[in-house]
Structure 1
Amino acid sequence: MTEIRCDLCVIGAGSGGLSVAAGAAQMGADTVLIERGRMGGECLNSGCVPSKALLAAAKAAEAARRAARFGAPQPAPDIPDPAVGFGAAMAHVRGSIAAIAPHDSQERFEGLGVRVIRASARFTGPDRLEADGVTVRARRFVVATGSRPFIPPVPGLQGVPYLTNETLFRLTRAPHHLIVLGGGPVGVEMAQAHRRLGARVTLVQRSRILPNDDPELVEVLRRRLIAEGVTLLEGRGVTRAETMEGGAVAVTLDDGRRIEGSDLLVATGRRPILDGLGLETAGIAVTEQGIAVDRRMRTANRRVYAVGDVTGGPAFTHAAAQQAGIVLRNALFRLPARINYAALPRVTYGEPELAQVGLTEAQARVEHGERIRVLRAPFAGNDRARTDGEAEGLVKLVTTPRGRLLGAGIAGPHAGEQIALWCLALSKGMGVGDIAGLTLPYPTLAEAGKRAAGDYYAPTLFGPRTRRLVRFLNWFG
């Protein structure tokens, strides 16, 4: 059997693994990358890229439908609804993947000096593994095998031709009635996208939608979903799923209702991919969430690191990239860098978007008690939001009594872009005064955040003491 010795061996060519491999190779480490599936992993092929491409197509259809707000002529009765171009929308999805794929390709990484092995990998000891008949011995290993959809143990579900994010984007015809199980970001985004592309949509969620986000911000998106015709069944579980005649599907709810649809999307969470890796042979500890790691992203085997969804931590591409940076500093430079998620943002890309960083109001009250300040600025008071006809939502800040930022949330237009300012503020330990003192271009959506920050000073600045001081100073001319 052929043996390869290298500095670093990465298992998994998703976002986290690719970040480690590219960084290590470009910094001079002899690097091997092993991938048994598609280069780019879930993010490129069945996650972030295709979902955002489909959302963009759906947004364009909705914009055409609502163009009359700005005086554009309504489509004539004999012109098809712009929402029915499902084939063109899916073509845009495929085109987006194809345009980005070269950046994640085997050819690019081999050009960087990475040896790429397209096969399954299995640890055969604490310092070695086998893949495609090759033994790889490395100074350090990184496991970045990602996650797969979690399929809940609903009676009858295994016999139903359900969809997940791994199969949804292969559809060639628009669902007539899409039933979505799960009200997390994926379920909410795909529910709105398919509704805008002409499907009837029913979303079933055991709790409320987006349960990890601030309820006040979630309510903004909930109102829009309902207004656009998405049927939300919150606080409801599914007790049975079945296939009907002609290939249709049906689910029975815990209140006895039966929902029939043409397609069923299961979006009930993710589970780490651990099978076949021989982790026990390498002395790598595993929990119910995934591979156990410390703040330096090290496993129980100090030769082996893990990044991305396989660790059971924050399941975001940008979190995997942050973890990759920690691994590179530890594995290559022996620096004791540690992960810190305090300023890790999260975004649900519905319309309006919902973005958060740091603590929510509820989390802040748990950690700091009632000694917090909550500042709000509705987009209804923002001139740019008004001119664009997108005045729903608000910016919400949570601070200490002295104005130190604890968290920020935005429900509104381009919230994912606007949250960047608050990521910087939180990561640098800034207070609201640092933002309130900025001069921003007018008119911009970001001014809503500045207004929220400025409201921290309103009780003092416009209070009776200030008025008395102004009147006193006026006596001197």
Structure 2
Amino acid sequence: MKTNIPAARNTEQEISADICVIGGGSGGLSVAAGAVQMGASVVLFERGLMGGDCLNYGCVPSKAMLAAGHAAATARTAGRFGISLPEPEVDFSKVHDHVRDVIAGIEPHDSVERFEELGVRVIQAQASFTDARTVSGGGFRVQARRFVIATGSSAMIPPIPGLDNTPYLTNESIFDLIERPDHLLIVGGGPIGCELAEAHRNLGADVTLIEAARLLGNEDEEAAEVLRAHLTDIGVTLLEGAMVKETAGSGGAVRLSVEQDGTELQIEGSHLLIAAGRSPNINGLGLEAAGIKHGRAGIEVDAGLKTSNRKVYAIGDVAGGLQFTHVAGYHASIVIRSALFRLPAKAGHGAVPRVTYTDPEFAQVGLLEREARAQHGEKLRVLKWPYQENDRARAERVTNGFIKVMVLKNGKVLGATIVGKGAGDLIQTWAMVIAQKIKIGAVASSIVAYPTLGEIGKRAAGSFFTETLFSPRMRKIVRFLAAFG
């Protein structure tokens, strides 16, 4: 006999919205805030902390810790100004409190309460696509006109033998330390590794940094050398071209087997930090159910940040490419224009600046010198100006560094590299120059306040015209005109 069994009732609460955002980091929050204030109904899913990686584990805490380290370094180097100070006493627990206080000061801006006051429906749960137009999570089933995936990235954990059984830190856990590491071992010589190496060394820890290739391998070699020399000067042990073959140990006693130039080294430390790159956060999203193509680098998107499911966008780190908070914010503006106003909008990344916040800072926008030479050959001119030729840099004893600007012979600016004090601020001028297609002559003819570090860029730009202005031909012209009185 056939028995009719009633189907189980779906207990999820159903919600309809204009925009459903998955991920409450920088990009996701920007989309949610912008869309809701423009009249769209918005649902936001966040499974972890509001503010995402940048606020809680990345940009904010690292810069706060760097600031503490720079304060200690300033005390140690005050003698260059004729001021004698004792060796600074570092209370690492108070440094920890300082970092947490900075985060706490920013948290209200990214909080659930603020976004709910704006009118966003915030669901604190993992979200997963169940089909091309539906997302479920936290007891809710959301259907929306458009979806935005902004789940960011996490520390990539390399497949090193023994690592699964060795205690290690990532950027998500290192800022929880209340006691200073005696000897911090860092695997990875990219921006995160360099920043945290400098910060901990300035705060009194011994630091060894191991990099498989070279320090800041994706950046300008000449500029990276300035940072390499600085880290060595402050006492960081650098092992470049070194592969970690195995890890072992327990809390407070970590051991690494490292191969460098055919020699195996045994390195011991108290703590291990993995800073070997980032991986997109795509697990658990149900991308297959929504027909969204993805790979190891992240979710595949077109120039308008749309995925293979045309109702779904992916922005920020999860979309691969440049992994910066400001890129996620820029992506959010593209999505707002496209999803709300149906305007054609494409993301262009040719003028995105990037900064490593060590001291000296390292900043880049546009093409590196090697990239520009490969593309343009003899048509390229490289303009350089050293910090030591700048009066403000001399007054503040920060003459370590230079600017390098890549320019075509017609004056088009292709890229700029700056290593030195305030490089992260100085690079903004060149980001605008490249984005707005401003010729080098406009920079050279601008009026810059004296004495400022901004003169470094102006002097570099002015050198573009040096050969013409001070040539034998120009001297003949001046003498000829002088003959007329």
Q: Structure 2 length normalisation: TM-score?
A: 0.96
**Any idea what the Cα deviations from partners look like across 1:431-471, whole Å, max 9, x if unmatched?**
11010000110000010000000000000101101111111
After superposition, residues 65-464 of structure 1 pair within 5 angstroms as 65-75=76-86, 81-82=87-88, 84-243=90-249, 247-254=252-259, 255-464=263-472
2:65 to 51, 54, 58: 54
Whole-angstrom CA distance in 1 between matches of 2:68 and 2:95? 5
Cα deviation, residue 2, structure 1: 1.4
Whole-angstrom CA distance in 2 between matches of 1:315 and 1:220? 24
1:13 to 15, 18, 24: 24
Cα deviation, residue 476, structure 1: 1.6
1:218 alignment partner, SS class: helix
The answer to whether the 8 A contact 1:58-1:89 is kept is: no
- Once the two structures are overlaid, the 10-residue window that deviates more, 363-372 or 197-206, is 363-372
Cα deviation, residue 131, structure 1: 1.2
The answer to whether the 8 A contact 1:378-1:393 is kept is: yes
Whole-angstrom CA distance in 2 between matches of 1:386 and 1:279? 55
Whole-angstrom CA distance in 2 between matches of 1:110 and 1:205? 44
Whole-angstrom CA distance in 1 between matches of 2:134 and 2:360? 49
Whole-angstrom CA distance in 2 between matches of 1:384 and 1:39? 41
The answer to whether the 8 A contact 1:147-1:309 is kept is: yes
Regions of 4+ moved over 3 Å: none
1:4 alignment partner, SS class: strand
Aligned to 1:35: 46
2:295 alignment partner, SS class: coil
Q: What is the one-letter code of the residue matched to 1:209?
A: L
The answer to whether the 8 A contact 2:305-2:313 is kept is: yes
Whole-angstrom CA distance in 2 between matches of 1:103 and 1:286? 32
Cα deviation, residue 73, structure 1: 2.2
The answer to whether the 8 A contact 2:252-2:269 is kept is: no
Whole-angstrom CA distance in 2 between matches of 1:95 and 1:335? 41
Q: What is the one-letter code of the residue matched to 1:226?
A: T
Flag the 1:83–1:366 CA change in 2: closer, same or farther, 3 A: farther
- Structure 1: gaps of 5 or more residues: 76-80
The answer to whether the 8 A contact 2:154-2:281 is kept is: yes
The answer to whether the 8 A contact 2:165-2:248 is kept is: yes
Whole-angstrom CA distance in 1 between matches of 2:378 and 2:14? 61
Whole-angstrom CA distance in 2 between matches of 1:307 and 1:271? 14
Cα deviation, residue 83, structure 1: 5.2
Q: What is the one-letter code of the residue matched to 1:282?
A: A
1:408 alignment partner, SS class: strand
How much is the aligned-residue C-alpha RMSD, in angstroms?
0.9
Whole-angstrom CA distance in 1 between matches of 2:428 and 2:123? 37
Cα deviation, residue 39, structure 1: 0.4
Aligned to 2:476: 468
- Structure 2: gaps of 5 or more residues: 1-11
**Any idea what the Cα deviations from partners look like across 1:198-228, whole Å, max 9, x if unmatched?**
0111100000011111111111111111111
Cα deviation, residue 247, structure 1: 3.4
Whole-angstrom CA distance in 1 between matches of 2:252 and 2:109? 39
**Any idea what the Cα deviations from partners look like across 1:115-172, whole Å, max 9, x if unmatched?**
1011111111100111111110000000111111111010001111101000000001
1:158 alignment partner, SS class: helix
Q: What is the one-letter code of the residue matched to 2:377?
A: G
Flag the 1:56–1:324 CA change in 2: closer, same or farther, 3 A: same
Whole-angstrom CA distance in 2 between matches of 1:277 and 1:228? 44
Q: Structure 1 length normalisation: TM-score?
A: 0.98
The answer to whether the 8 A contact 1:326-1:338 is kept is: yes
Whole-angstrom CA distance in 1 between matches of 2:89 and 2:154? 30
Whole-angstrom CA distance in 1 between matches of 2:482 and 2:452? 36
Whole-angstrom CA distance in 1 between matches of 2:481 and 2:318? 65
Cα deviation, residue 74, structure 1: 3.0
The answer to whether the 8 A contact 1:62-1:83 is kept is: no
Whole-angstrom CA distance in 1 between matches of 2:328 and 2:135? 23
2:398 alignment partner, SS class: coil
- Once the two structures are overlaid, the 10-residue window that deviates more, 449-458 or 219-228, is 219-228
1:232 alignment partner, SS class: strand
Whole-angstrom CA distance in 1 between matches of 2:99 and 2:481? 65
Whole-angstrom CA distance in 2 between matches of 1:65 and 1:87? 20
The answer to whether the 8 A contact 2:383-2:460 is kept is: yes
The answer to whether the 8 A contact 1:83-1:196 is kept is: no
- Once the two structures are overlaid, the 10-residue window that deviates more, 126-135 or 340-349, is 126-135
Q: What is the one-letter code of the residue matched to 2:337?
A: R
Whole-angstrom CA distance in 2 between matches of 1:83 and 1:93? 17
Cα deviation, residue 69, structure 1: 1.2
2:460 alignment partner, SS class: helix
Whole-angstrom CA distance in 2 between matches of 1:363 and 1:242? 40
The count of aligned residue pairs is: 471
